[in-house]
Amino acid sequence: MYKNLKLGLKLNLLLAIILLLLVITMGFILSRVLQNYAEQEIVNRASMLMATMNSIRNYTSTQVNPELSARLETEQIFLPQTVPAYSAREVFENLRSQEQYSQFFYKEATLNPTNVRDKADQFEAEIIQSFRNSSIEQQQGFRSIPGGKIFYIAHPLKVEKESCLRCHSIPNLAPASLVASYGSDNGFGWKLNEIVGAQIISVPSSQVINAAKKLRNLVISKVLIFLLLASILLNLFLKLTITEPLKKMSDASKQLSLGNMETEFEQKTNDEIGILAASLNRLKVSLKMAMEMLENQ
Ligand code: HEC
């Protein structure tokens, strides 16, 4: 069957196969590379936010707390601004109020929190439990929530200082204002070196991954357009330099075989096709001479 195909068709079959293989391998490689890149990007975002949150906590305990702690003993109402967990949470809420960060989450998920908004849900409780069972310092992974896929990073929250116990062990030790504001039921009974919760940051990943997919499709379509243009050029080249001259020569040979000795093989170039035309012309001259000799005899 292949024997019966025209040159142009053969070329285009070959081009189609090359194109198909190229698109498949390129799509596959691009998918892998961009997916890795996107995931790395998401991890970087989350890590940076986590580091920022810890800086805020640090700032609160080293600069804000010393300024305000005396007032905790005298004020009627507790000043949450003295607490790192509070400032981190507030700063993050501020960030989240901007549209583009509304899908980012920060939580100091705690099994027995002072502020009930920090109460760990089931997923978070499992993370805390696994921190308690092992000595790992970080957990991360993807998780599907109703808004899309998110990536989370979690660090254990450990009671490392004796001073924490003033407000988190028994209500009697805590400033009266704390008990007045938060009650005496939650956030007490913590032990030194106990892992009480997990600091969890979540960043949306669907957007980044979708952007990577879009980029892949864009690259593939651009390359495809380029290759199609190249195929058109190749077809044109084949037609002008090979198939058309060949067809003319084959028509001319047919004329010659019918006895039309004035037929000319047109030689336009000096490439292989042109050389063939020149040879055919010489052949024609020899043939003509041979015929004349025959006729004279
Ligand atoms: C002066 C009292 C006080 C001290 C000392 C204190 N905390 Fe707290 N802590 C609080 C209050 C009040 C909250 C709730 C803040 C809010 O409204 O978000 C809180 C919240 C937290 C939270 C968030 C979960 C929750 O319970 O709502 C963590 C985690 C936490 N504290 C850990 C610590 C650690 C660790 C230390 C020691 C380095 C410490 N705290 C020292 C008063 C204190």
108 inside domain: yes
Q: Kindly give the confidence (pLDDT) of every residue in the chain, 297 residues in length, as a single tens digit, with 9 standing for 90 and above.
A: 788 899 999 999 999 999 999 999 999 999 999 999 999 999 999 999 999 999 999 999 999 999 998 998 888 899 999 999 999 999 999 999 999 999 899 999 999 999 999 999 999 999 999 999 998 999 999 998 888 889 999 999 999 999 999 999 999 999 999 999 999 999 999 999 999 999 999 999 988 888 899 999 999 999 999 999 999 999 999 999 999 999 999 999 999 999 888 888 988 899 999 999 999 999 999 999 998 999 998
Does the CB atom of residue 178 touch ligand 1 within 6 A? yes
Query: Sign of dihedral through CA atoms 122, 123, 126, 132?
Result: negative
| CA dist., res. 135 & res. 111, Å (int) | 18
Q: Is residue 30 part of a domain?
A: yes
Ligand 1 centre distance from Cα of residue 233 (Å): 72
Output Rg (C-alpha) for the chain, integer angstroms.
40
Q: Which residue has the tokens 């593939």?
A: 220
Q: In whole angstroms, what is the distance from residue 245 CA to residue 252 CA? A: 10
Which of these three, 204, 223, 257, is where a domain ends? Answer: 204
**Contact (Cβ atoms closer than 8 angstroms) between residue 113 and residue 186:** yes
Identify the domain boundary among 204, 230, 247. Answer: 204
Structure tokens at 79: 């000043």
On whether both 137 and 182 belong to a single domain, the answer is yes
Q: Whose CA is nearest to atom 25 of ligand 1?
A: 113
Is the same domain home to 135 and 271?
A: no
Task: Tell which residue, 253, 261, 269, has the closest CA to residue 289.
Answer: 261
Domain assignment present for 168: yes
CA angle 203, 106, 200 (to 5 degrees): 85
Does 229 fall in a domain? Answer: yes
Q: Is there a single domain that holds both residue 25 and residue 165? A: yes
**Between vectors from CA 132 to CA 175 and to CA 60, what angle results, nearest 5°?**
40
Q: Say yes or no: 200 and 229 in one domain.
A: no
Query: Would the CB of 91 count as within 6 Å of ligand 1?
Result: no
Look at residue 80 in the predicted model and tell me its pLDDT: 95
Contacts of 191 (CB under 8 A, 6+ apart): 159, 169
End residue of a domain, out of 204, 232, 265: 204
Query: Which atom of ligand 1 has the smallest separation from the CA of 78?
Result: 12
C-alpha to C-alpha distances, 280 to 124, 230, 257, 264, 270, nearest whole angstrom: 87, 33, 12, 9, 14
In a shared domain, residues 226 and 256: yes
CATH no. for residue 253? 1.10.8.500
Nearest-10 Cα torsion for 9, 12, 18, 22:
-150
**Whether residue 113 has its Cβ less than 6 Å from ligand 1:** yes
Is residue 278 within 8 Å of residue 267, measured between CB atoms?
A: yes
Domains: count for the chain = 2
CA 297 to chain centre: 86
Clarify whether residues 124 and 226 are in a common domain. no
Q: Give 43: exposed, middle or buried? Use CB within 10 Å, 0-12, 13-18, 19+.
A: middle
Please give the pLDDT value at position 241.
92
Is 288 close to ligand 1, i.e. is its CB under 6 Å away? no
Structural domain of 44: 19-204
Same-domain check for residues 130 and 255: no
Which pair of structure tokens corresponds to residue 4?
Answer: 């019966």
Give the pLDDT score at 218.
95
- Residue closest via CA to ligand 1's atom 33 equals 164
In a domain, 167, yes or no: yes
> Within a domain: residue 271?
yes
Q: How many Å lie between the centroid of ligand 1 and the Cα of residue 20?
A: 61
Query: Are residues 160 and 41 part of one domain?
Result: yes
**Ligand 1: nearest atom to the Cα of 61:** 38
**Do 56 and 174 belong together in one domain?**
yes
Domain-located, residue 97: yes
